[in-house]
Chains A and B, each alone.
Chain A
Amino acid sequence: MNRPLIAAVLLVGAVAWAANESTALDEKTKALVEGQLPEDPARPLVQGKCLLCHTSEYVTQQRLTEGQWQRTVEKMRKFGTPASDEEAKTMVAYLARNWTPDLPPPRPVRAPLPPGSVPSK
């Protein structure tokens, strides 16, 4: 294999890798903006601890710094969510890694009001 060919193969590989990375990033951002909880070892923790009292939009609409996430998780522990120090640390890292201040705003979801909101005609 000559040197130009190796260079070409490397270049093609790098372009493909970069394209793949940027697509992956876009897909990930898109999923976050649409309110999904990304797959992660911490995901079941968030589902188990946070979603006892509220649905996941309480998490996915936030755009916070690590310090703000830390304080939020501490507040929720005071409110009674049963999380150990280690679990709280894992959750804060997951939350701070995904729902960052620079993430685009959540996509508004239109929906009818729940039953009991409007007098029956």
Chain B
Amino acid sequence: MEREGFCVGHAPEQPMTLDRRRFLKSSLAGAAAAGWWLNVPSLARAKGREELIRMTERPPNFESVRSTFTTRITPIERFYLRNHFDIPTVEVASWRLKIRGLVEKPLSLSLPDLQRMPQATVEAVLQCAGNGRALFTPHVPGVQWRFGAMGSAEWTGVRLKDVLALARPKQDAAFVQVQGAERPTMDTTPQFIRAIPLAKALHADTLVALKMNGEPLVPNRGRPARLIVPGWVGDDWVRALVDVEVRSDEPKTFYYDTAYRFPAAPGAPGAAIPADQMKPMTKVNVKSLLGSLSDGDVLRPGIQQLTGVAFSGEAGIDRVELSFDGGKSWTPAQLEGPAMPYGFRVFRHAWKAAEGSHEIACRATDTTGATQPEAPVWNPGGYLHNAIDRVRVQVRS
């Protein structure tokens, strides 16, 4: 079912590997031939590296392919795309960010206003709460994301706390409600409105970002400004942010009060959960994904370099372990860099592959001791799937 791997021995019709493309680019660097070679689709299928899996065409929902997840930063051209509604057309010159509600001084800020303020950069994973929904049993309705509704980027912009400081929240401020420029096709459909507690809004790493991976935001990524809520689910990371309302209470709107809720205590798979036992989702849970292999890949015997990523909301990754015997024994993978909150930590392992069928499992543990379960916590929305990742491959000479 999962056939988007880019490694040794895959079917000839599949796109070439990123590494191979990079190699070609560097080995032919400077030669006019390089551009020509890479731009001939029949030869290079170079565009293949920019292809994702289209979940829905309208509104556009695309998930990244597994091979995306071998680097700390996810390139924008391979980054997933998730929308509830059609992507809004925003005129940057007339765009304003309004700060209102329980504030001493309501504000209306333009893009130059934000650009003139001190800028900060945070590296953080953006993950759709429904990433992995397709992997739940029994099935739940919604976009059937498997593993690619996530990515890590370097986000640059203004600290939300600096913006709020200009507006001066009043004594009873407790929540910050946020909304972007997108609107549903029908007026009767609930608008996409979210809220975060004031403490998270005032955290130094919560940003109104103007850039992604050093590039000004493009329309589908939230031009001109989007919210960055590091470690928290993607629903809060509102794009084309236009409205910030400081409130004393939580909004009663559909996408906060009804949807995007998670059971306070786990129940039996498939069981209905009373509304009063559902809480708004906040932090993303610990997760790891093997990026260098996909189900059904055929490898040659010998040393195979396995690579993947791990992350855990506001915590860092302490260890990633791999199992080649159905979870009986676990081998620690090598981790890149230090344990940091929010972002991907890349793991690697040199696997001595012997002939036969293999199932490779990977499991991350974060700096708080939280680890990935055998089975996800079933919930009616299909949110926060973080069961141990498993990939099945064949090794033959």
- A interface residues (Cβ-Cβ under 8 A, vs B): 52-55, 57-58, 61-65, 68, 71-72, 78-81, 101, 104-106, 108-114, 116-119
Contacts and interface: CB of A to CB of B under 8 A. Distances in A.
A119 B57 contact: no
Contact of A62 (B50, B60, B144): B144
Chain B interface size, under 10 / 10 to 19 / 20 to 34 / 35 or more: 35 or more
Contacts of B216: 119
A64 B139 contact: yes
A111 B4 CA distance: 12
Contact of A114 (B4, B55, B60, B186): B60
A120 B299 CA distance: 36
22 contacts: A52-B186, A53-B184, A55-B57, A61-B144, A63-B139, A64-B141, A78-B188, A79-B188, A79-B190, A80-B188, A80-B189, A105-B134, A110-B52, A111-B51, A111-B52, A111-B54, A112-B51, A112-B52, A113-B62, A113-B220, A117-B218, A118-B218
A116 B185 contact: no
A105 B55 CA distance: 12
A108 B139 contact: no
A78 B140 CA distance: 19
A98 B281 CA distance: 33
Nearest to A75: B141
B187 interface: yes
A118 B77 contact: yes
Contacts of A110: 4, 48, 51-54, 65
B278 to A, nearest CB: 15
Top 10 closest pairs, chain A to chain B, by CB:
A80-B188, A80-B186, A116-B219, A111-B54, A117-B220, A53-B185, A119-B215, A79-B189, A55-B57, A57-B56
Tell me the dominant secondary structure on chain A's binding face. loop
Contacts of B185: 52-53
Nearest to B85: A53
A52, A106, A108: residue with the most chain B Cβ atoms closer than 10 Å: A108
Interface in B192-225: 215-216, 218-221
B143 interface: yes
B188 A57 contact: no
A101 B186 contact: no
A118 B47 CA distance: 13
A105 B48 CA distance: 23
A118 B53 contact: no
A98 B81 CA distance: 28
Contacts of B56: 54-55, 57-58, 61
B252 interface: no
A79 B60 CA distance: 19
Interface string B41-76: 000000110111111111110100100000000001
Contacts of B51: 110-112
Interface string B220-233: 11000000000000
Contacts of A58: 56, 143
Given A57-B57, A112-B47, A62 B141 contact: yes
A1 B302 CA distance: 69
Contacts of A116: 87, 218-220
A62 B221 CA distance: 27
Given A55-B57, A116-B219, 15 more contacts: A57-B55, A58-B56, A61-B144, A62-B144, A72-B141, A105-B134, A108-B53, A110-B4, A110-B52, A110-B53, A110-B65, A112-B47, A113-B81, A114-B87, A117-B218
Contact of B76 (A52, A81, A118): A118
A113 B55 CA distance: 11
A88 to B, nearest CB: 15
Interface string B116-146: 0000000000000000001000111101100
- Most chain B CB within 10 A, of A62, A71, A106, A118, is at A118
A62 B32 CA distance: 48
B396 interface: no
Interface in B155-185: 184-185
B139 A119 contact: no
A119 B210 CA distance: 13
